Amino acid sequence: MQQTLQIHCPAEILLNLHLNAENFAEYLKYQAAISLFKEGKLSSGTAASWLEISRAEFLFLAMRAGAKLLEDSTDDYNRETALL
């Protein structure tokens, strides 16, 4: 089940960003997915699915936005290498 959200946005914001409403909505969706992932509230797989991109592509975008993909811990290392 999908939900549609409605956000009121002054026209000058769209004009300043050189975006139409549809492109701005897509931009906000990407920013929300990355922020929720960085906060640990959304998995990379769920975020990628929401954005309709591959998990690898999402992780690349998140990393470019400053997300830490792995902490330097033994637990992270063991969890990741267990999948190999």
- For residue range 25-41, what is the model confidence (pLDDT) as tens digits? 999 999 999 999 999 89
Domain count, the chain: 1
Within a domain: 6:
no
In a domain, 45, yes or no: yes
Inside any domain, residue 4: no
pTM for this prediction = 0.78
Is pLDDT at 49 greater than 80 in this prediction? yes
Contact 67, 34 (CB under 8 A): yes
Q: What mean pLDDT, rounded, does the chain reach?
A: 89
- N-to-C CA span, the chain: 34
